[in-house]
């Protein structure tokens, strides 16, 4: 939005200022803050600046209203919880430039009890165009330390009693409460040696200043000088100040003595905090005393270090005793540690481990005690934390939940702008909790937040699933009246969403008051009437409609409900009789006329007359629903459209999405329809966002229906055009099965479909997992070698055009898809030397190479492989490893045919030793061992081999995957999962992991996989 004025701060407030509670009087005024407002055109009306005191809270990424207040220094009678509104004056005759100086105001420190007492007053004065308040439970906390506030300025133009915002809100630099006492959270070096130089590391609540320290022994017979911190900016950024420990030269300083001391923290002469330390003698053989290094300090605080695995281990060892019964000091350490881990953006693995541990061993109560619930919730909002291929967070069990804080977590979730996959994660948890525990009643505020939260999910199918959960979760009694139910539906449904809650709607209608029926909203009416449904056979609805007509004989007074009663039977595509058509009689609609009339216009006029439509909006709606009625209830075959003089294109344009569904059925059963209607139907479906599931009939895809019922044989171009049109509506899996079964003998067409349509298919942005490319290799594909050669040449073309490509880019995904299809191919006694080019691209990513190696090992002939081995020394260095991998898979899966290979394997080992490659040498030894041992011996040693060769573990896994049932699927799914391919490219990996765990111990451990 382009604002008509620009506001700038030209002089900032002081970065330090002492906040005083009002009981101690008002402090000195803030130093003047100056602002300039520049307008795009002259403004002669009054201009007002609204100033608010704001601050940033944990877990929030923007400024919100502070609990502290701005006080005018001339009035100290009561706290001011209103924004400061002051007029700003023009400094030029054109009234373009305005200047303002904020003076005579100070900052007052408030207590949580004062904020609670004035909370409603505070809310009343914060209008939507100002900086907003945080949640009640956030602003009413007792903020003990680290007050950092800022000033927010918003410009308005005043016209009469109204004001209008004319510029963006601007924020000053931070103002730190210089009166707050700084705390020592943790001293990392509590034991200081007498005889050697060491550094003291203090974790402080605030490092805004270079605070000094001084040490005393308990008898005050010795004290050090004031010691300033060293300049270690890296540790200072982590709230750590480092000091050089003083030399102890007081009494009792022998090698076997421990001298207890106090370490005190100072800001100038003001004492801030203290902690216990001791000087100790460090003998050469004394292993009990260790002085932490800088690196160890960083580890103890959760900083990112090189040895991540060791850090996580220390972290997991540290938390259990703290969770059980932490002391005050340990609580501070734990809170600081978790805060840093939850905010860890550079190392997702570390954040995942912290969240995982709290979910499995902690509880909501622990997070509330540490004041970290909002940080925990926000930390779960990461795409990587909800992908099956990366760091999947575990489900939160019902025991973790504090029922009394149920509403709090819902409100927190509603407040944050979550990614879709994080929303799905939390909604799955809600569903799990609702099945296991009796969930408390959701408060109105929490319920609104939850509805808004779900409504923001982009993909309609995903949104619909969780919207349905909300309707069940709240229970039909949660919204006792039809009026409240109507409001709920308006809050959680978009205009074109699929409405499936007809049974609950019917229940509300039957149990509602007559006046409630007359006031049903237009949105609820449209939702009920625009979606296909299975009829609810309940005759009580007829009694209710008759009762309404007797209560209010004037039909026009029945509002939008009269349209529901008249047209809802058209939503029923079942053959079961519906009681709703009996409701038409109550409105005087002539069933005999409606069933015999062949003129759509006459039927429209009949509905308009009997339903007493007066407004243009009502008339337009009834005309559209009359089209639905006529086509759905009267037309049973495509040929009847011509008989009734109906234009299919016009019907698709004028009718609702039910017309699109009905005409898809008619079209699929007809040999008379032309192709242009199909494409218009597809475009219509795209515009109204019908999922492919709603266009399916008798569990077949529309694509298959259309082609099966054509009298003429469609050309290849026609088939590919149909496929492309439907791919825009749905995932490839809905098109591929029909293509595979119908044209399995037409390798030319099948290859064109894969190369032209499937390989370059782009998964829609947003909810990737629901619109995916996976599934086209679900069954083995019997093809000839010409089909395979075409795919391999396609790979070669992409390799030549773009030899290097970014991981998980479209170029990478195309090669992944080629690999998956090749693995699904089944052909007998077919081999072409050209196929070896699959592994000759030097820069292919590992998961692509692995799939290609599996394919080659399955299809290469004995003679071809022998020929490759004879020229092993001539192979390019990049290709040697792939050749050995193919040999390994071949031997492991076809062991009985290799008893004659010993001499050639020895030659292979010799060649690899000459090449100087340790990895090749390992593979050659392994292959030789496979030849010389029995299969049983190999199985017995497999576990040790796999553990020993962890760095090549995935390649050693390949023969195992191939031998399993549906091996082509398991190979691709496991490889793509373990190499972090997008989850839209492969099936859920859980079942494969369960199958493989007994064979490969490290399969479930993500730490052993090279990314």
Convert the pLDDT of each residue in 190-228 to its tens digit. 778 876 677 888 877 778 788 899 999 888 888 899 999
Residue 437 confidence (pLDDT) above 80: no
Q: Quick one: pLDDT band at residue 777, thresholds 50, 70, 90?
A: low
Cα three-residue angle 827-828-829, rounded to 5 degrees: 125
**H-state helical runs in 587-637:** 591-596, 600-610, 616-634
The answer to whether 691 and 730 are in contact (CB under 8 A) is yes
pLDDT at 482: 86
Whether 668 has a pLDDT exceeding 70, the answer reads: no
Q: How far is Cα 378 from Cα 343, in angstroms, rounded to an integer? A: 9
Q: What local confidence, expressed as pLDDT, does residue 241 receive?
A: 86
State residue 683's pLDDT score: 59
Query: Which range scores top for mean pLDDT: 145-149, 334-338, 503-507, 969-973?
Result: 503-507
Q: What is the pLDDT of residue 50?
A: 94
Question: pLDDT class for 233, splitting at 50, 70, 90?
Answer: confident
Top pLDDT among 464 and 51 is at 51
What CA–CA distance (Å, rounded) separates 845 from 849? Answer: 6
Specify the DSSP element, H or E, that contains 993. Answer: helix 990-996
Distance in angstroms (rounded) separating the CA atoms of residues 825 and 782: 6
Residue 387, pLDDT above cutoff 70 = no
| Three-state DSSP class for residue 496 | coil
- Predicted confidence (pLDDT) at residue 774 exceeds the cutoff of 50: yes
Alpha carbons 398 and 394: distance in angstroms, whole number = 13
Reported as a pLDDT band with limits 50, 70 and 90, residue 577 is low
Non-local (6+) Cβ contacts of 65 within 8 A are 52, 53, 54, 122, 126, 131, 132, 133, 134, 139
pLDDT of residue 397: 84
Strands (E), 229-302: 240-244, 258-267, 270-280
**C-alpha to C-alpha distance for 764 and 744, rounded to whole angstroms:** 28
List 9's β-bridge partners, or say none. Answer: 35
Instruction: Check whether 692 has a pLDDT greater than 60.
Output: no
Q: Give mean pLDDT, residues 49-54.
A: 94
Beta 64-65 vs 105-109: how paired, if at all?
Answer: unpaired
pLDDT of residue 476: 53
164-168, 756-760, 799-803: least confidently modelled range: 756-760
Tell me how far apart the alpha carbons of residues 106 and 28 are, in angstroms, rounded to a whole number. Answer: 6
pLDDT value at 998 more than 50: no
Residue showing tokens 């800088």? 294
More reliable by pLDDT, 462 or 985: 985
**Tens of pLDDT, residues 872-886:** 777 777 788 888 888
Residue 800 exposure: Cα atoms within 13 Å on the Cβ side: 7
pLDDT band at 36 (very low <50, low <70, confident <90, very high): very high
pLDDT at residue 602 is higher than 90: yes
CA angle, residues 517, 518, 519, in degrees to nearest 5: 90
- Residue 458 predicted with pLDDT over 50: yes
Nearest-angstrom CA–CA distance, 562 and 553? 12
Burial class (CB in 10 A: 0-12, 13-18, 19+), 861: exposed
Average pLDDT over residues 550-556: 89
For residue 148, list its beta bridge partners. Answer: 176
**Residue 623 confidence (pLDDT) above 60:** yes
* Residue 716 phi, psi dihedral angles, 5° rounding: -60, -40
At residue 169, the pLDDT reads 94
**pLDDT (0 to 100) of residue 697:** 36
CA distance 976 to 982: 8
Mean pLDDT of the region 927-953: 42
Residue 813 burial (CB < 10 Å; 0-12/13-18/19+)? buried
Top pLDDT among 579 and 433 is at: 433
Q: Where is average pLDDT lowest: 323-332, 491-500, 606-615, 696-705? A: 696-705
Q: What's the pLDDT score for residue 48?
A: 92
pLDDT confidence bin for 168, thresholds 50/70/90: very high
Place of tokens 């539906």: 489
Mean pLDDT on 953-966? 72
Q: Mean pLDDT check: name the lowest of 322-326, 397-401, 645-649, 678-682.
A: 322-326
Write down the mean pLDDT value for the chain.
74
According to the per-residue pLDDT averaged within each range, which of 663-677, 703-717, 795-809 is highest? 795-809
d(CA 657, CA 631): 12
Determine the pLDDT at residue 49. 93
Structure token digits, residue 437 = 């525990």
89-118 average pLDDT score? 87
Q: Residues 411-424: pLDDT tens digits?
A: 777 666 677 677 77
Instruction: Please state, as a whole number, how many other Cβ atoms lie within 10 Å of the Cβ of residue 255.
Output: 12
Give yes or no for residue 293 having a pLDDT over 50: no
What mean pLDDT comes out for the span 473-493? 74
Whether pLDDT at 455 is above 80: no
Judged against a pLDDT cut of 50, whether residue 1005 lies above it is answered with: no
Is 879 exposed, middle or buried (CB count within 10 Å of its CB: 0-12, 13-18, 19+)? middle
- Give 728's pLDDT tier (boundaries 50, 70, 90): low
At 609 the pLDDT is 93
Percentage of residues of the chain with pLDDT beyond 90: 13
pLDDT at 996: 41
Instruction: Tell me which of 708 and 143 has the higher pLDDT.
Output: 143
Q: How far is CA 163 from CA 6, 54, 154, 211, 674, in A?
A: 17, 22, 12, 48, 60
Beta bridge mates, 163: 158
- Write down the pLDDT at residue 693: 39
Alpha carbon of residue 943 to chain centroid: 37
pLDDT score at 47: 92
Q: Which residue has the higher pLDDT, 538 or 423?
A: 423
Q: At CA 337, angle to CA 331 and CA 342, rounded to 5? A: 120
Pick from 133-147, 464-478, 807-821, 838-852: least confident? 464-478
Residues 367/325, Cβ–Cβ less than 8 Å: no
Question: Per-residue pLDDT averaged across 476-483, rounded?
Answer: 69
pLDDT of 608 > 50? The answer is yes
Average pLDDT, integer, range 496-522: 84
**Higher pLDDT residue, 48 or 866?**
48
CA 690 to CA 496: how far, in whole Å?
9
pLDDT tens per residue, range 902-922: 555 555 555 554 443 444 455
Distance from C-alpha of 698 to C-alpha of 573, rounded to nearest angstrom: 13
Q: Rounded to two decimals, what is the model's pTM?
A: 0.48
For residues 143 and 181, give the distance between their C-alpha atoms in angstroms, rounded to a whole number.
Answer: 12
**Overall average pLDDT of the 330-334 stretch:** 63
Does pLDDT of 477 surpass 90?
A: no
Give the highest mean pLDDT range of 356-365, 886-895, 932-941.
Answer: 356-365
CB 583 within 8 A of CB 506: no
Residue 306's pLDDT is 36
């Amino acid at each position: 939005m382009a604002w008509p004025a620009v506001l700038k701060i030209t002089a900032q407030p002081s970065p330090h200022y002492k906040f005083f509670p009002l009981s101690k009087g008002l402090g000195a005024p803030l130093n003047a803050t100056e602002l300039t407002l520049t307008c795009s055109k002259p403004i002669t009306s009054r201009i007002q600046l609204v100033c608010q005191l704001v601050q940033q809270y944990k877990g929030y990424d923007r400024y919100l209203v502070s609990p502290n207040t701005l006080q005018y220094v001339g009035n100290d009678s009561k706290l001011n919880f209103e924004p400061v509104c002051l007029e700003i004056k023009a400094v030029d005759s054109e009234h373009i430039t305005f200047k303002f100086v904020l003076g005579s105001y100070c900052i007052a420190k408030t207590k949580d009890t004062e904020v609670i007492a004035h909370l409603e007053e505070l809310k009343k004065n914060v209008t939507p165009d100002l900086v907003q308040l945080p949640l009640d439970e956030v602003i009413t906390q007792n903020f003990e330390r680290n007050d950092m506030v800022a000033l927010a300025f918003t410009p308005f133009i005043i016209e009469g009693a109204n004001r209008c915002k004319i510029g963006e809100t601007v924020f000053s630099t931070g103002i730190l409460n210089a009166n707050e006492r700084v705390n020592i959270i943790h001293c990392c070096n509590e034991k200081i040696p007498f005889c050697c130089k060491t550094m003291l590391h203090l974790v402080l609540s605030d490092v805004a200043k270079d605070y000094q320290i001084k040490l005393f022994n308990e008898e005050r017979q010795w004290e050090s000088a004031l010691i300033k911190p060293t300049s270690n900016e890296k540790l200072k950024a982590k709230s750590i100040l480092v000091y050089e420990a003083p030399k102890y030269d007081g009494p009792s300083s022998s090698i076997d003595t421990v001298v207890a001391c106090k370490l005190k923290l100072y800001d100038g002469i003001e004492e801030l905090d203290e902690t216990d330390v001791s000087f100790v003698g460090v003998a050469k053989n004394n292993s009990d005393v260790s002085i932490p290094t800088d690196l160890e300090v960083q580890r103890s605080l959760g900083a990112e270090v090189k040895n991540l695995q060791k850090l996580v281990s220390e972290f997991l060892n540290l938390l259990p005793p703290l969770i059980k019964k932490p002391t005050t000091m340990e609580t501070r350490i734990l809170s600081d540690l978790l805060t840093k881990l939850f905010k860890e953006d550079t190392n997702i693995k570390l954040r995942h481990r912290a969240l995982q541990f709290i979910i499995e061993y902690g509880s909501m109560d622990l997070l509330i005690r540490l004041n970290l619930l909002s940080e925990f919730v926000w930390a779960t909002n990461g795409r990587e934390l909800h992908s099956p291929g990366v760091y999947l967070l575990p489900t939160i069990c019902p025991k973790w939940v504090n029922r009394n804080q149920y509403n709090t977590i819902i409100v927190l979730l509603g407040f944050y702008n979550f990614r879709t996959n994080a929303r799905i994660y939390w909604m799955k948890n809600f569903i799990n909790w609702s099945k296991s525990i009796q969930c408390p009643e959701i408060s109105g505020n929490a319920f609104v937040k939850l509805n808004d939260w779900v409504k923001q999910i982009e993909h309609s199918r995903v949104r619909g699933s969780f919207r349905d959960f909300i309707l069940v979760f709240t229970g039909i009694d949660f919204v006792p009246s039809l009026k409240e139910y109507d409001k709920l539906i308006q809050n959680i449904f978009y205009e074109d969403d699929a409405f499936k809650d007809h049974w609950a709607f019917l229940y509300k209608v039957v149990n509602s008051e007559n006046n409630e029926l007359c006031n049903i909203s237009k949105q609820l009416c449209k939702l009920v009437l625009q979606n296909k449904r299975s009829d609810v056979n309940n005759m009580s609805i007829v009694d209710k409609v008759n009762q309404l007509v007797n209560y209010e004989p004037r039909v026009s007074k029945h509002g939008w409900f009269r349209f529901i009663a008249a047209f809802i039977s058209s939503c029923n595509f079942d053959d079961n009789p519906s009681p709703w058509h009996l409701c038409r009689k109550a409105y005087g609609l002539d069933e005999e006329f409606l069933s015999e009339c062949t003129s759509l216009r006459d039927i429209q006029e009949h509905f308009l007359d009997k339903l007493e439509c007066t407004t243009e909006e009502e008339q337009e709606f009834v005309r559209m629903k009359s089209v639905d009625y006529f086509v759905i209830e009267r037309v049973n075959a495509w040929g009847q459209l011509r008989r009734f003089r109906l234009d299919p294109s016009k019907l698709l344009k004028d009718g609702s999405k039910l017309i699109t569904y009905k005409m898809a059925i008619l079209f699929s059963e007809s040999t008379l329809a032309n192709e242009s209607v199909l494409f218009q139907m597809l475009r219509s479906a795209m515009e109204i966002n019908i999922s492919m599931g709603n266009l399916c009939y008798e569990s077949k895809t529309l694509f298959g229906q259309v082609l099966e019922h054509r009298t003429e044989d469609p050309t290849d171009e026609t088939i590919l055009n149909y496929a492309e049109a439907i791919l825009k509506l749905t995932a490839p899996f809905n098109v591929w099965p029909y293509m595979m079964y119908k044209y399995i003998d037409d390798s030319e067409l099948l290859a064109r479909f894969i190369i032209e349509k499937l390989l370059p298919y782009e998964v829609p942005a947003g909810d990737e997992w629901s619109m995916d490319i996976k599934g086209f290799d679900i069954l083995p594909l019997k093809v000839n070698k010409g089909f395979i050669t075409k795919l391999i040449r396609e790979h070669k073309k992409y390799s030549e055009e773009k030899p290097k490509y970014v991981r998980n880019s479209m170029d990478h995904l195309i090669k992944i898809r080629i690999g998956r299809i090749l693995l699904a191919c089944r052909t007998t006694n077919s081999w072409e030397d050209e196929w070896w080019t699959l592994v000759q691209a030097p820069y292919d990513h590992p998961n692509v190479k692995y799939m290609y190696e599996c394919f080659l090992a399955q299809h290469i002939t004995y003679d071809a492989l022998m020929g490759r081995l004879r020229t092993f020394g001539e192979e390019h260095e990049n290709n040697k490893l792939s050749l050995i991998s193919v040999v390994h898979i071949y031997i492991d899966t076809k062991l009985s045919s290799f008893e004659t290979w010993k001499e050639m394997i020895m030659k292979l080992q010799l060649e690899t030793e000459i090449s100087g490659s340790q990895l090749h040498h390992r593979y050659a030894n392994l292959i030789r061992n496979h030849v010389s041992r029995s299969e049983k011996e190999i199985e017995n040693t497999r576990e040790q081999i796999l553990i020993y060769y962890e760095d090549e573990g995935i390649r050693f896994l390949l023969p195992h995957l191939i031998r399993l049932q549906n091996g082509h699927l398991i190979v691709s799914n496991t490889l793509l999962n373990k190499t972090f391919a997008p989850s839209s490219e492969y099936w859920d990996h859980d079942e494969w992991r369960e199958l493989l765990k007994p064979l490969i111990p490290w399969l479930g451990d993500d730490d052993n996989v090279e990314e």
